[in-house]
Amino acid sequence: MEALGKLGLGFSVALDPGNLLFCFIGVLFGTLVGVLPGLGPVGAISLLLPLTFKLPPVTGIIMLAGVFYGAMYGGSTTSILVNIPGEAASIVTCIDGYQMARQGRAGPALGISAFGSFIAGTIGVIGMMFFAPFLGQKALSFGGPEYFALTFLGLTLVTYLSKGPKINALIMAVLGLLAGSIGADPVSGEQRFSHGSFTLFDGLGLAPVAMGMFGIAEVLENIESGSVFDREIFKTTVKGLLPNLKDWKDSFWPIIRGSVLGFFIGILPGPGPIIAAFSSYAAEKKLSRHPEKFGKGAIEGVAGPESANNSATAGAFIPLLSLGLPGNVVMALIMGALMIHGIQPGPLFIGKYPDLFWGVIASMYLGNAMLLALNLPLIGIWVRILKIPYTILFPWIFLFCLIGVYTLNSNVIEIFIMLIFGVLGFIMRKTGFEGAPFLLALVLGPIMESSFRQSLLISHGDLSIFISHPISAVLLILGVACLLSQLIPSFRKKKEGFLEKAIQEGD
């Protein structure tokens, strides 16, 4: 009952005309970003990040959250009609959604995707409403050792769950930690690696780095690959958006299972919505009485993953707001937006800023309703937008990046930082390195360093403080286990290669 009472406070905040307007702008822009291949929620939030610094904190976070879950809605449109995911979490939807479109059932595929996303988003927000305060209360007992162990576990999990070679992800995490050390020392205040630059006195700005690595780099990669120039929309009539009774019967339990599974996977640090969608698809195929239908236009293969990736977005907010630990790049950007306003997410966040916490939750209820109302009637408009040539879109993306990063501090140097990280991000993508571990380490690095040094000050330099605290010890053991599980296979391969070579030389 207490949570329901506080939800009333949240709705009084969310229904403020300004907050309501920016919630609508967020979900509309997020849907557009999801529909257009080649940008994604990370790039979009990077573009909008400077705008939030001029807004009240609650208004800015409501808008950024709307972009995040709105992109999950919009991504299904491109997956079903173009067979190109608008964002990474919609990759699985391509498998059966596009096949349904080829069979003349694009309407039911889009319809069940929208309804499933709405149901899952609502379930995810309800879970967030009860889990976040509970976890926040438990985290009040956290001190320096626990926070160090938690950030260490978060980074190792992100590298563990990243795609590609794990050693590459570890390298990027270490480089991110080094980049996070630029600027003032958190204890002594001495300048480090700033080389007399006033721009670097407070460290590398999150917005220029994010906009470069995920905005500029995304555009450069799309131009280089040429995939967005050649996209063709499957010629089909989008009609019958309301699923029939059989579609609902086939989709009901996949939606429920996907919603619950996605929510709990979303809480884990790492690319939650992506893993949630893949896990849901695998679970539905395994539980189905007719697994042979999957890949040939099974509506369950659309309903489950789309529900999972939407509920995962709500779950991802829980570790950020309760523990101050961003589980993915989007949450790192939202954390950056909060910190710019002088708000530190963590165990004290819910009690200190109840209007912000409950206002965001209430806005997500309203945002999900807006998305359901927007998605189905505007399908025809989204199809037309898909036909906009990328040669028109990418100069505008560049322009928004340039204007956005300059308006932060009216500093030309930050434009150059953005462009440098844009080129670096493009090179990294072409060489198999991900930007997500770098950006998360950049955000978590100062927190990790501060908590580590505070712990050593308390214990007078005794490292056993990290093991003597039970929570810290358990988190560190889990982190080390994740780290070793990544390194041991590569060492084993090298050892086997060395033995084979030695045997061959012996022969």
At 184, is the secondary structure helix, strand, or coil? strand
pTM reported for the whole predicted model: 0.75
Place of tokens 């950049």: 442
> Strand (E) positions, 126-241?
183-184, 191-192
Q: What are phi and psi of 192, to 5 degrees?
A: -130, 125
Question: Which amino acid type is present at position 174?
Answer: V
Structure tokens at 15: 């229904």
Neighbours of 421 (CB within 10 A): 26
- Beta carbons within 8 Å of 129's beta carbon, 6+ residues apart: 3, 7, 361
Given its phi and psi angles, is residue 432 left (phi above 0), alpha (psi -120 to 50 degrees) or beta?
Answer: left
Cβ atoms of 322 and 135 closer than 8 Å: yes
DSSP 427-446: HHHHTT--SHHHHHHHHHHH
How far is Cα 121 from Cα 124, in angstroms, rounded to an integer? 5
- Paired with 184 in beta bridges are 191
Domain boundaries, the chain: 2-229+239-500
What sign for the dihedral angle of Cα 64, 68, 70, 75? Answer: positive
Going residue by residue through the chain, which has 507 residues, state the pLDDT in tens, using 9 for 90 and above. Answer: 566 677 888 889 999 999 999 999 999 888 888 777 666 777 778 778 777 878 899 999 999 988 888 887 777 777 787 776 666 667 788 888 888 888 888 888 888 888 888 898 889 888 888 888 877 777 667 778 888 888 888 778 777 666 667 788 888 888 988 988 888 887 777 888 888 788 888 788 777 887 788 778 877 887 777 655 555 555 555 566 678 888 889 889 999 999 998 898 888 766 567 778 888 888 888 888 888 888 888 898 899 898 988 888 888 888 888 888 787 778 888 888 888 888 888 878 888 888 898 999 899 889 888 888 877 777 777 777 766 776 777 787 788 778 777 776 778 888 898 899 989 989 988 888 888 788 888 888 888 888 888 888 888 888 888 888 888 888 889 888 877 776 666 555 555 554 455 555 555
